[in-house]
Amino acid sequence: MKIREESLARIASGAGYDVLIVGGGVNGVAVLRELALNGVSALLVDRADFCKGATSASSRMAHGGLRYLENREFKLVAESVRERNLLLKYAPHFTRPLEVVVPLSHYLKGLPSSVLRFLGLSSRGGPLSVAGLKGALCLYEFLGRVDKVLPSHRTRLRRAAFPKGLSARYRAVISYFDARIRNPEALVMEMIEDALRTSRDVACLNHVDWTFDGDAVAITDRLSGRRAYLRPKLVVNAAGAWVDQVNRALGLATAYIRPVKGAHLIVRHDELHRRMAGRAFYFDDGTGRMVICYPLERTILLGTTEIQVASPDDDRVTAAETRYLTGALSGLFDDIEVTEADVVAVTTGIRPLQAGGDASVNRAQRDHLIAEDRLRSGQTVLSLIGGKWTTFRAFGEQAGDRIFELLSVTRKVGSRRLRYPGATGLGPDDDSGQDGGQDGRQDLVNRLRGTHAMAPARAHDLVDRYGAVALEVAAFCALAADAPIASLPDYTEREVRWLIEMRAALFLDDLLLRRTQIVLDGLCTEAVIRDLGLCLARVRGLDAAWAEGEIARCLAMPTILPRPAAARSTLEVRHG
């Protein structure tokens, strides 16, 4: 389905919308999904691209938030581990168990301060101990016992059993399981497509402007200039870190959000990648602050920083952040040093945390809530505040329930036990989820190979990128002559065309950062940017001058391309 054309046609048909959702990150889209499932009409608009905010800047983990136990956020942890388990079951195409290795230097030191923090009697940080972590993990695994799909934690005290080369300062290793979301942006796109297919009463547009004049909302498509006016009964403000800005544009003065910036480095270091053997490492930076890193397909994701910023638009990554993260990682193994020269890209985004709470950002509240305000014209505005990637479905469900209440609608369909479209045919029929969808994967690969005479590697790539939606992508590719992209042979021209036409990738960074994993996989070269820029212009019917402008814009985005270390250390990096 062509998300944009279909949505524009629905809006042009004069259909009114009961609900306007502002913000196309994972939470706004989760609300759209709930409304579509239950027959409530809704229009979602994003002023930029879908997933442009925190949604594409996360650590890409479905996790319970082990460290939030110390802050006694039990409700959040219980909800998060349940949602993690549901993602493993119903989105096995993109969600995989991830073993998290925690190296520890102390058996008991730090335990008393952990206990005091846990009891709410102190907020002082301290080192993590074997005893403290084991206690926390017992509680963590107890909270995650419903729909349990992951193994329990293990403790190793003998150095011979440690990962090879682990720093000599460590005396124990505990490993536990959470999950990795391989392609979070694609899961969001699946949910959009699914919502549009489920209900003709919803529409969804990226790259639009909107204004509110106190009575109606004017929506302007930035591409075609087409305009529509809307008088929704209810507005959902799902603008993440920009919630207060959006409320201001609606005439409401709110201060709900505490914007906390977080950066990741994408590191290319083949020996470290091998050494990690598919496991994440969650380790103390030496000051009691925890850092996470884990191997992606070819690169390593390393994060994250947490810096309170004054504005949600302040998403620079400073040289000091880069030094901090590479320095911390260099202390993990005795024989592996990571430098700025190994960094091939960075990601940065703003956590939309709740305002108030502990002065330390590390201990700021992570739970989500829905605030209610009223416009002068009487309509309710629901602001979605805080939340994690992992809990998007639960957050969407809670917002949906409140919307149904306000609109006097009875919920007909729940989302808890619904498979995501890309998981169709993956995993066992009985929903036990025990095999993580691996059987179904091979069937899918075989179907792609059988129907389209596809090479095994290409079939595996498509299943990794799109899950069961790969069948649709392959059918589209087969409709006309296709060829690999010269600078990026893992992708074909028609596959990229599918992403542009169907999944509304309108600008070059949409394609590079949010429809593909090219940048994260460390595959983004100048030639790739150029080839994709020209391809995008061709598909959109735009001229070479437009393509050159887009290519130049993306080449200037330091989040995308590696730069010489000397240049980067003096530069501040800004997300495009």
Ligand X SMILES: Cc1cc2nc3c(=O)[nH]c(=O)nc-3n(C[C@H](O)[C@H](O)[C@H](O)COP(=O)(O)OP(=O)(O)OC[C@H]3O[C@@H](n4cnc5c(N)ncnc54)[C@H](O)[C@@H]3O)c2cc1C
Quick one: tokens of 96? 């995989």
Give the end-to-end CA distance of the chain in Å, rounded to a whole number. 28
Structure tokens at 539: 């598909």
- Of the two residues 471 and 504, which places its CB atom closer to ligand X in the complex? 504
Say if residue 432 is exposed, middle or buried (CB neighbours under 10 Å; 0-12, 13-18, 19+).
Answer: exposed
- Interface contacts to ligand X, rule CB under 6 A: 22-28, 45-48, 52-55, 57-61, 63, 238-242, 246, 262, 304, 349-352, 384, 387-390
Pick between residue 321 and residue 493 the one whose CB is nearest to ligand X. Answer: 321
Nearer to ligand X, 43 or 523 (CB): 43
Q: Which is nearer to ligand X, 170 or 176 (CB)?
A: 176
CB of 241 to ligand X, least distance (A): 6
176 bridge partner residues: 100
Amino acid at 525: T
| Contact in structure between 107 and 129 (CB atoms under 8 Å) | yes
Residue closer to ligand X, measured from CB, 22 or 195 = 22
Answer for the pair 216, 231: CB distance below 8 angstroms, yes or no: yes
Pairing of strands 208-212, 217-221: antiparallel
The single-letter code of the amino acid at 505 is A
Distance in Å, CB of 442 to ligand X, minimum: 29
State the minimum distance, in angstroms, from the CB of residue 352 to ligand X. Answer: 6
Q: Smaller CB distance to ligand X: residue 8 or 474?
A: 8
State how far the Cα of 427 lies from the Cα of 436, in Å rounded to an integer.
6
- 120 CB burial (10 A radius; 0-12, 13-18, 19+): exposed
| Residue that has been written with the tokens 């010269």 in this structure | 486
Q: Report the distance separating Cα 63 and Cα 90, nearest Å.
A: 15
Least Å from the CB of residue 492 to ligand X: 28
CA-to-CA separations, 397 to 6, 237, 384, in angstroms, rounded: 25, 15, 12
Question: How far is 103 from 106, CA to CA, in rounded Å?
Answer: 10
Whole-angstrom Cα Rg for the chain: 23
Q: C-beta of 4: minimal distance to ligand X in Å?
A: 15
In the complex with ligand X, the residue whose CB is nearer, 54 or 69, is 54
* Ordered DSSP codes for 489-526: EEEEHHHHHHHHHTS---SHHIIIIII--TTTTT---H
- Nearest approach in angstroms of CB 573 to ligand X is 14
Which residue, 282, 312, 299, 345, is CA-closest to 554? 345
The two tokens of residue 324 are: 């901090």
In whole angstroms, how close is the CB of 327 to ligand X at the nearest point? Answer: 18
CA distance 196 to 1: 9
- Residue-wise burial string across 290-326, b where 16 or more C-beta atoms lie within 10 A, e elsewhere: ebbbbbbeebbbbbbbbbebeebeebbbeeebbebbb
Q: How far is the CB of 28 from ligand X (least distance, A)?
A: 5
Residue 159 — φ and ψ, nearest 5°?
-55, -35
Q: In terms of CB distance, is 255 or 486 closer to ligand X?
A: 255
Nearer to ligand X, 157 or 255 (CB): 255
* Minimum gap (Å) between residue 174 Cβ and ligand X: 20
Which DSSP letter does residue 449 get? Answer: H
The residue (of 55 and 492) whose beta carbon lies closer to ligand X is 55
CB of 257 to ligand X, least distance (A): 10
Nearer to ligand X, 29 or 166 (CB): 29
Q: Is 363 exposed, middle or buried (0-12, 13-18, 19+ CB in 10 A)?
A: middle
Minimum distance from residue 245 beta carbon to ligand X (Å): 6
Residue 320 CB, shortest distance to ligand X, in Å, is 16
Nearer Cβ to ligand X (364/462): 364
